[in-house]
């Protein structure tokens, strides 16, 4: 199989953007991805597009991909929507890699888009709830936060972790997001701010939950046969892993882990021929603070129960051994459901090509992205590397 | 309506999976309305499936049978949802738990006690109720769910 490379990636700012539509957001993300390609690149070169979106509010559930691509000057190419809840565009990137590796396409656009800020809180809760086990989790009166809160309760009970451990995730990710001009909540917060916030679902408070955002992201994936035409130093997709699991939390084998993440990461590491210790930074799916702690363990950054210590010791800070969520993560950068996974790859691309500005992790040559759908019903992990640096 | 056949064991033929079968949600909720909580049980690996499913989500076997479940169990994890969906707002904060029944089957549901009284390991018993008498706004239910009972857990000590 031939290799796949990321030759360009871009995104809109994430946030509340009442003047934008899903089409205008998608168009902006694509334009920025095209601009980011080092060599001359015409968007007509794109053979195919895969667009991740949940379709919050139901605005364009049918034919979302043609509706978005026609607006961006890509009319006529094969394209499709991919839906895997919050992991939609992580899976779109994976689909692009598959198309390129298989030889069916040379350049594929993997994107994602979501508009969430123009619906009422109730409507948003409903559209988040549709990715739960609907007959059961929805009719208990729980919410998406409530499902992750049950993971947090189980984790705190099992390992003696505290609310402060959860709050440290918010403090770190807000500090990172404050350096990200694309972040939705680009302010810093103290441990006291994070500890004193109103409870959303015990033990999770407002600062332990990500915002709902508008935004789009786009990633251009090219085959090894053509990548050099556009970039002297493209970013190689070294490994991809994905897995699914039972949709309902209560049906799963573990509550203090996300088994699909662990399986997806294992596959990605195997295919890339590397381990957790070989990764310079990671963008992980911190939709709720507990999710970032579980990610450290599911991705093999530390043993079970050790995530709070890893965080408290600063290992995952920007100047630590393994920076996590330099972008600010879902917590601060924002979480426009369908755009999140591709947005993580945008951050990895910028880090690996030295374009991350104040967030730049010096010498970053290999990064990992981790995107989860629902409360763990789907997960996808990418390992991306700057081949020229890795080979040295 | 209590003519559902709870002796069904898979693999099921497509024509066996009717609205009377507990392998479908109408059949399952019909039984729950009669006070019987039915789980699928994989005869190959022992996994409980609540509600019953025609294939085991642990091992993929279709040799799934139906087992009636006990009323009592223990809280495995829990939360109180302070900002629930609006049909549940009269009940806020809504205590929700995952419960492991004495059989080993797990299911999630609302707990009638305030969250302060609940902990991991708390003993509970489930009961099925008419959604109207619980205080849930009927808009929570999709049209095909309107006749379904809701289950809830009570602390037993």
CA angle, residues B53, B56, B62, in degrees to nearest 5? 85
Closest CA to A276 of A306, A232, A231, A235: A306
Q: Give A269 or A127, the one with higher predicted confidence.
A: A269
What is the dihedral sign for C-alpha A188, A190, A193, A199?
Answer: positive
Count the neighbouring beta carbons within 10 Å of the beta carbon of residue A191: 13
Q: pLDDT value at position A17? A: 95
- Alpha-carbon distance A105 to A288, whole Å? 37
Identify whether the C-beta of residue B12 lies closer than 8 Å to the C-beta of residue B23.
Answer: yes
Instruction: Tell me the average pLDDT across A208-237.
Output: 97
Counting residues of chain A whose pLDDT is more than 70, the rounded percentage is 99
Count the neighbouring beta carbons within 10 Å of the beta carbon of residue A236: 22
Closest CA to B64 of B75, B74, B54, B73: B54
Closest CA to A212 of A321, A125, A308, A87: A125
Check A157 against B77: CB less than 8 A apart.
yes
Instruction: Tell me the average pLDDT across A156-167.
Output: 98
- Alpha-carbon distance B10 to A190, whole Å? 56
| Eight-state DSSP code of residue B135 | T
Q: Determine the distance in angstroms separating the CA of B5 from the nearest CA of chain A, rounded to an integer.
A: 22
Is A32 a domain residue?
A: yes
Q: pLDDT value at position A391? A: 62
Instruction: Give tens-digit pLDDT for A76-135.
Output: 999 999 999 999 999 999 999 999 999 999 999 999 999 999 988 888 888 887 777 777
Is A26 a domain residue?
A: yes
Check A151 against B77: CB less than 8 A apart.
yes
Identify whether the C-beta of residue A84 lies closer than 8 Å to the C-beta of residue A193.
Answer: no
Indicate the number of domains in chain A.
Answer: 1
Identify whether the C-beta of residue A55 lies closer than 8 Å to the C-beta of residue A115.
Answer: no
Is A313 a domain residue?
A: yes
**DSSP of B93-128, one letter per residue?**
SEEEEEEEETTS-EEEEEESS-GGG--TT-EEEEEE
- Is residue B63 scored above 80 in pLDDT? yes
For B19, the enclosing helix (H) or strand (E) is none
Check B50 against A251: CB less than 8 A apart.
yes
Q: Does the annotation mark A189 as catalytic?
A: no
Out of A141-155, A316-330, B112-126, B142-156, least confident range:
B142-156
Q: pLDDT value at position B2? A: 43
Q: Determine the distance in angstroms separating the CA of A205 from the nearest CA of chain B, rounded to an integer.
A: 10
Q: pLDDT value at position B6? A: 62
Backbone phi, then psi, for A319, in 5-degree steps?
-100, 15
Q: Determine the distance in angstroms separating the CA of B14 from the nearest CA of chain A, rounded to an integer.
A: 22
Identify whether the C-beta of residue A8 lies closer than 8 Å to the C-beta of residue A229.
Answer: no
User: Which of A128, A140, A248 should we substitute to test contact with B (largest number of B Cβ atoms within 10 Å)?
Assistant: A140
- Is residue A351 scored above 70 in pLDDT? yes
Is A303 a domain residue?
A: yes
Predicted confidence band of residue B16 (pLDDT cuts 50, 70, 90): confident
Catalytic hit among A208, A285, A335, A382: A335
CA angle, residues A321, A327, A329, in degrees to nearest 5? 95
Q: Which domain holds residue A253?
A: 4-119+211-386
- Is residue A336 scored above 60 in pLDDT? yes
Is A155 a domain residue?
A: no
Instruction: Tell me the average pLDDT across A341-348.
Output: 98
The ipTM of this complex is 0.92
Q: Determine the distance in angstroms separating the CA of B16 from the nearest CA of chain A, rounded to an integer.
A: 22
Tokens of residue A375, six digits: 């409360």
Catalytic hit among A86, A189, A210, A287: A86
Q: Does the annotation mark A287 as catalytic?
A: no
* Four-point Cα dihedral A173, A90, A113, A212, nearest 10: -40
Instruction: Give tens-digit pLDDT for A365-387.
Output: 999 999 999 999 999 999 999 98
CB-closest option in B84, B136, B148 to A143: B84
- Is residue A390 scored above 80 in pLDDT? no
Backbone phi, then psi, for B79, in 5-degree steps?
-155, 170
Is A53 a domain residue?
A: yes
- Alpha-carbon distance A141 to B59, whole Å? 30
Q: Give B139 or B93, the one with higher predicted confidence.
A: B93
Is A141 a domain residue?
A: no
Is A31 a domain residue?
A: yes
Q: pLDDT value at position A102? A: 97
Which residues in chain B are closer than 8 Å to A255, comparing Cβ atoms?
A: 76-77, 98
Q: What is the CATH number of the domain that holds A27?
A: 3.40.47.10
Q: pLDDT value at position B157? A: 75
- Is residue B1 scored above 50 in pLDDT? no
Instruction: Tell me the average pLDDT across A357-372.
Output: 97
- Is residue A204 scored above 90 in pLDDT? yes
> pTM of the prediction?
0.95
Tokens of residue A262, six digits: 């662990």
Which residues in chain A are closer than 8 Å to B53, comparing Cβ atoms?
A: none
Instruction: Tell me the average pLDDT across B74-89.
Output: 94
- Is residue B5 scored above 70 in pLDDT? no
Name the 3-class secondary structure at B75.
strand
Pairing of strands A107-114, A199-201: unpaired
Instruction: Give tens-digit pLDDT for A10-38.
Output: 999 999 999 999 999 999 999 999 999 99
Q: pLDDT value at position A343? A: 98
Which residues in chain A are closer than 8 Å to B57, comparing Cβ atoms?
A: 246, 251
- Alpha-carbon distance A343 to A182, whole Å? 10
- Alpha-carbon distance B35 to A348, whole Å? 54
Identify whether the C-beta of residue B32 lies closer than 8 Å to the C-beta of residue B149.
Answer: yes
What residues in chain A have their Cβ under 8 A from chain B's Cβ atoms? 121-122, 125-126, 129, 135-143, 145-146, 149-154, 157, 198-204, 246, 248-251, 253, 255
């Amino acid at each position: 199989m031939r290799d796949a490379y990321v030759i360009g990636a871009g995104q809109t700012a994430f946030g509340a953007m009442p003047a934008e539509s899903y089409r205008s957001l998608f168009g902006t993300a694509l334009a920025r991805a095209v601009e980011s390609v080092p060599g001359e690149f015409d968007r007509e070169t794109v053979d195919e597009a895969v667009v991740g979106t949940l379709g919050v509010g139901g605005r364009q559930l049918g034919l979302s991909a043609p509706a978005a691509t026609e607006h961006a000057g890509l009319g006529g190419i094969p394209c499709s929507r991919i839906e895997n809840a919050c992991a939609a565009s992580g899976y779109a990137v994976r689909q692009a890699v598959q198309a390129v590796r298989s030889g069916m396409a040379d350049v594929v656009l993997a994107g994602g888009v979501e508009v969430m800020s123009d619906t009422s809180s109730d409507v948003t809760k409903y559209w988040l709830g549709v990715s739960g086990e609907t007959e059961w989790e929805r009719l208990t009166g729980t919410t998406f936060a409530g499902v992750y809160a049950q993971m947090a309760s189980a984790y705190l009970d099992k390992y003696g972790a505290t609310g402060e451990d959860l709050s440290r995730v918010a403090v770190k990710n807000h500090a990172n997001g404050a350096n990200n001009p694309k972040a939705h909540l680009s302010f810093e917060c103290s441990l006291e701010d994070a500890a004193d916030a109103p409870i959303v679902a015990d033990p999770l408070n407002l600062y332990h939950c990500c915002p709902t955002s508008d935004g789009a992201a786009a990633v251009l994936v090219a085959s090894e046969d053509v990548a050099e035409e556009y970039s002297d130093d493209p970013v190689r997709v070294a490994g991809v892993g994905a897995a699914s699991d039972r949709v309902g939390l209560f049906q799963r084998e573990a509550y203090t882990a996300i088994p699909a993440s662990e399986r997806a990461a294992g596959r990605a590491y195997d295919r890339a021929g590397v381990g957790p210790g070989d990764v310079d930074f990671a963008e992980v799916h911190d939709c709720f603070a507990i999710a970032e702690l579980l990610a450290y363990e599911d991705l093999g950054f530390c043993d079970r129960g050790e995530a709070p210590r890893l965080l408290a010791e600063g290992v995952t800070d920007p100047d630590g051994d393994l920076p996590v969520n330099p972008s600010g993560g879902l917590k601060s950068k924002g979480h426009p459901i369908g755009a999140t996974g591709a947005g993580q790859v945008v951050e990895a691309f910028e880090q690996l090509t030295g374009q991350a500005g104040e967030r730049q992790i010096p010498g970053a040559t290999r990064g990992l992205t981790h995107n989860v759908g629902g409360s763990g019903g789907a997960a996808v992990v990418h390992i991306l590397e700057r081949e020229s640096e890795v080979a040295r | 309506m209590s003519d559902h056949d709870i002796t069904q064991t898979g693999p099921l033929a497509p024509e066996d999976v009717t609205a009377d079968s507990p392998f479908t949600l109408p059949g399952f909720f019909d039984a729950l309305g009669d006070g019987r909580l039915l789980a699928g049980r994989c005869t190959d690996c022992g996994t409980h499936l609540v509600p019953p499913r025609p294939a085991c989500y642990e091992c993929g076997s279709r040799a799934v049978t139906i087992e009636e479940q006990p009323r009592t169990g223990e809280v495995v994890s829990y939360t109180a949802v302070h900002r629930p969906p609006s049909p549940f707002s009269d009940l806020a904060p809504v205590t929700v738990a995952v419960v492991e029944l004495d059989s080993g089957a797990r299911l999630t549901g609302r707990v009638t006690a305030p969250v302060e009284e609940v902990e991991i390991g708390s003993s509970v018993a489930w009961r099925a109720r008419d959604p109207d008498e619980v205080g849930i706004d009927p808009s929570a239910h999709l049209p095909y769910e309107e006749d379904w009972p809701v289950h809830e857990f009570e602390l037993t000590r």
